[in-house]
Amino acid sequence: MTAIGDISKKNKMGKNTTTDVTLYEVEENSYLLDTPGFQSMDIYEIPSKDLAGLFLEFREHLKNCEFVSCTHLKEENCGVLNAVKSGKISKQRYENFVKIYNDLKYEEEHKW
Ligand SMILES: [Zn+2]
């Protein structure tokens, strides 16, 4: 298993406390979220729009996005993309984000 990185998730109570969880790539297109103290959760429970906020180092840049609905994939004036360009976010991490985002999006569109 490859650890993609530590990410945090708001707990179900909606409080601002975060729980450190680790995102693993189990195999191609299969992910596992390891959440201490909580049951393992399926990554597809994460709404695609919330994914960027789960990457800790993306967070501070999200507020620089021009649009609230920014997908951070191709928008102009995207805080995340600008941070990737200027080297504040590693390309590798960003590529992981894009890959997972596309998977989540695909699942959402094919859910019904
Ligand atoms: Zn953005």
Q: pLDDT of 32-82, one tens digit each?
A: 665 555 455 567 778 898 889 878 889 899 999 999 899 999 999 999 999
Calculate how far, in angstroms, residue 82's C-alpha sits from the geometric centre of ligand 1: 9
Calculate how far, in angstroms, residue 39's C-alpha sits from the geometric centre of ligand 1: 30
Q: pLDDT of 5-29, one tens digit each?
A: 555 444 444 444 445 566 766 666 5
**In three state form, how does the secondary structure of the chain look?**
CEEEEEEEEECCCCCCCEEEEEEEEEECCEEEEECCCCCCECHHHCCHHHHHHHEHHHHHHHCCCCCCCCCCCCCCCCHHHHHHHCCCCCHHHHHHHHHHHHHHHHHHHCCC
Q: What is this structure's pTM? A: 0.68
pLDDT at 50: 86
Calculate how far, in angstroms, residue 76's C-alpha sits from the geometric centre of ligand 1: 8
Q: What domains does the chain contain, in order, with CATH numbers? A: 2-109 (1.10.40.50)
